[in-house]
Amino acid sequence: MSMRHQITAGFMPLFDSAVLVAAGELGFAAREGIDLTLHRETSWANIRDRIAIGHFHLAHMLGPMPLACNLGLTPLASETIVPFSLGLGGNCVTISNAVWAGMAAHGAEPDLDPARAGAALGALIRERAAAGRDPLRFGVVHPHSGHNYELRYWLAACGVDPTREIEIVIVPPPFMADALAAGRIDGYCVGEPWNSASVAAGTGHIVTVKAQIWHNSPEKVIGVRKAWADENPEALAALLRALHHSARWCQHPGNHAELAEVMARPGFLGLPPAVQMPILTGHLGLGGGAELDIDDFFVPFDKAANFPWKSHALWFYTQMVRWGHVAHTPENLAIARDCYRPDLYRSALKPLGVALPGANSKVEGALRVATAVGATGAGLVLGPDGFFDGQIFDPDEIDAYIAGQKSVRAEV
């Protein structure tokens, strides 16, 4: 079959690139007439630069990264749009054995409960401050990342000011476990397999997970160079269909062993297949022999996981404002609102007759249980999508939400 579209994409060696990798490796792209070339990169900065100069048409990106580009927060940024999300969840907060011992003395249990773990960590942080010890240092992968924002959200909701009471540094994902073992950081928030790596090495404990801080919340996306998308609507639509089929395949438990084998190849993660299984099964070792099954730990397809909700982008925007990354102005809000493109997702997938959300935004945190929702096509189930602290994010009330989270911070 001759290929009608040539597409070049970048990715970072993280498990949540799986839907993109499988689209190329398992023939989903070829079936849509796409010759998909994948390039592994070493930093998000490289991905941003290569998108900006046109080396890549699109890439695996951190959810807030295209917003940061369009808001002019990073050097060499180019206009980037998001027509597809690569899944929900997948991250953990992992801490050193020493911090775990300190938290356990303040009531932490190996149950991943964000409120309990956060209260124990807060008590430990205050105890250390009273004793005149250095603040704990946490690693995240990038300032404009779900990891940075969910770590801060969790701590702030537990009464810890992440800007003053801890130090946050940037560490590349593959270096997290080593940095923790060497004592250069006390904890980190990162995607798998870099949490299970510390647990397996006996050097860390997983204390909570993204899926419990904000259930079914956004993580990586496909960021597309807008100039290319505008000129190649057919190629982009074909790719979105390929990604849709790939994501459906990745979600199916019967395919997990093969997916883990594909991701284990040297050109992708280059780690043994067994290391990839916790993210696929949601069965995690937490350290110290504790194990737990986590609902919706990582969702590559179900729950409309690939739909680029504008409310997800807008929540990231509220956190950028909250932590001083960007000023809240009508212009910036408009840029944030235009970045995620559910219209492109919908028009590409319409011919497939699959279930599509009817709305572009939803009230985040409103669904306490999995709920069937109105959609074109049949059978779409969303949520639960609750924040652990019971907060609701209504994208139509964004000013009030931003004002409210300032008061959360002020109360600390």
Binding stretches for other proteins (CB under 8 A): 42-46, 49-50, 52-53, 55, 74-76, 141-143, 169-172, 174-175
CB of 44 to other proteins, least distance (A): 5
DSSP assignments along 104-163, one per residue: HTTT--TT--HHHHHHHHHHHHHHHHHTTPPPEEEEES-SSSHHHHHHHHHHHHTT--TT
3 or 170: CB nearest other proteins: 170
Write down the least CB distance from residue 326 to other proteins, Å.
12
In the complex, minimum distance from the CB of residue 142 to other proteins, in angstroms, rounded to a whole number: 5
Taking the complex as a whole, the smallest distance from the CB of residue 144 to other proteins amounts, in Å, to 9
* Those residues with Cβ within 8 angstroms of residue 290's Cβ, 6 or more apart along the chain or in another chain: 110
Query: What is the smallest separation between the CB atom of 42 and other proteins, expressed in angstroms?
Result: 5
Q: How far is the CB of 75 from other proteins (least distance, A)?
A: 3
Rank residues 53 and 352 by Cβ distance to other proteins and give the closer one: 53
Helices (H), 292-397: 310-322, 330-339, 342-349
Residue in 80, 38, 75 with CA at minimum distance from that of residue 62 = 80
* Residue number, 215 or 325, with CB nearest to other proteins: 325
Q: Which long-range contacts (CB under 8 A, 24 or more apart) does 293-296 make?
A: 294/112, 294/209, 294/211, 294/212, 295/211, 295/215, 296/88, 296/89, 296/211, 296/215, 296/216
Residue closer to other proteins by CB (options 164, 368) is 164
Provide, rounded to whole angstroms, the least separation between the CB of residue 174 and other proteins: 7
Instruction: Give the C-alpha separation, 81 to 400, whole Å.
Output: 27
CB 46 to other proteins: min, Å: 5
Indicate the residue among 249 and 316 with the shorter CB distance to other proteins.
316
Q: Which is nearer to other proteins, 147 or 215 (CB)?
A: 147
Distance in angstroms (rounded) separating the CA atoms of residues 260 and 225: 29
Q: CB pairs under 8 A, 24+ apart, for 99-102?
A: 99/124, 99/136, 99/186, 99/187, 100/204, 100/205, 100/207, 100/287, 100/288, 102/127, 102/128
Q: Which is nearer to other proteins, 43 or 371 (CB)?
A: 43
The answer to whether the beta carbons of residues 207 and 99 sit under 8 Å apart is no
Q: Helix 342-349 vs helix 233-251: angle between axes, to the nearest 10 degrees?
A: 80
Question: Is residue 370 a contact partner of residue 384, using CB atoms and an 8 Å limit?
Answer: yes
The smaller minimum CB distance to other proteins, of residues 55 and 337, is found at 55
CB of 45 to other proteins, least distance (A): 4
Shortest approach of other proteins to residue 387 CB, angstroms?
26
Strands 204-209 and 5-11: unpaired
- DSSP assignment, residue 72? T
Nearer to other proteins, 143 or 162 (CB): 143
Amino acid at 15: F
SS3 (DSSP) at 9 = strand
Closest to 180 (Cα-Cα) out of 104, 85, 244, 100: 100
C-beta of residue 250 within 8 angstroms of C-beta of residue 259: yes
Cβ closest to other proteins, residue 171 vs residue 294: 171
